[in-house]
Amino acid sequence: MNIKPIKNQNDYTQALQRLEVIFDAKKGSVEGDELEVLAILIENYEDKHFPIGFPDPIEAIKFRMEQMGYKQSDLAKVVGLKSRASEILNRKRKLSLDMIRQLHESFNIPTDVLIQAY
C-alpha cells in the first residue's frame, strides 16, 4: 500500500487507476483499507477541484414534480393559485419565504436550493 496525498491531475489519475484495480477488495483486508483511504483522498480532491453547485431552484422544483408524478395543479396547491404556479415555473414570479417553506415541507427540496437567485 503506497498512499500519498493527491496534489495534481497526474496524482488524481493514478489514484483513480489504482481504485479500479482494488475496487472489489474485501472490507477489512489490506486492499480494503487502501480502498477506503484512497476513496477519501479522491473525494477530497474532487470536492476541491470539481465542485458541484446547487441546482437551479426552478429546475429543482420541476425535477421533484416529475419524480413525484405531480402536475402544475399540485404545485398550485402548495403555492396558492394555479396562475402563481405557472408564473413560478415560467420564472415570472420569485419565490417568497412562505413559498420556500411550503415547497421544502411538501416537496422535500432543501431550502439551500430554493433560496438561490434565478
29 and 77 together in one domain: no
pTM over 0.85: no
Q: Looking up cell 436550493, which residue turns up?
A: 113
C-alpha cell of 51? 465542485
What pLDDT is stored for residue 45 in this prediction? 95
Q: How confident is the model at residue 1 (pLDDT cuts 50, 70, 90)?
A: low
Is residue 73 assigned to a domain? yes
pLDDT at 100: 95
Q: Are 71 and 108 part of one and the same domain?
A: yes
Residue 31 lies in domain = 9-49
Distance, in Å, from the CA atom of 118 to the CA atom of 107, rounded to the nearest integer, reads: 19
Q: Pick from 57, 58, 54, 56: which is nearest to 89 by CA? A: 58
In this predicted structure, what is the pLDDT of residue 113? 95
C-alpha grid cell, residue 65: 414534480
Answer positive or negative: Cα dihedral of 98, 99, 105, 111. negative
- Residue partners of 107: CB distance under 8 A and separation at least 6: 61, 64, 65, 68, 78
Residues 86 and 108 in one domain: yes
The pLDDT of residue 4 is above 70: yes
Q: Is residue 4 part of a domain?
A: no
Average pLDDT, the chain: 93
pLDDT digits (tens, 9 = 90+) for 64-99: 999 999 999 999 999 888 888 999 999 999 999 999
Across the range 10-26, mean pLDDT stands at 94
Model confidence band, residue 52 (pLDDT cutoffs 50, 70, 90):
confident
Would residue 61 count as lying in a domain? yes
98 plus 79 within the same structural domain: yes
Helix (H) or strand (E) holding 85: helix 82-89
Domain total in the chain? 2
Length of the chain: 118
Q: Are 103 and 62 in a shared domain?
A: yes
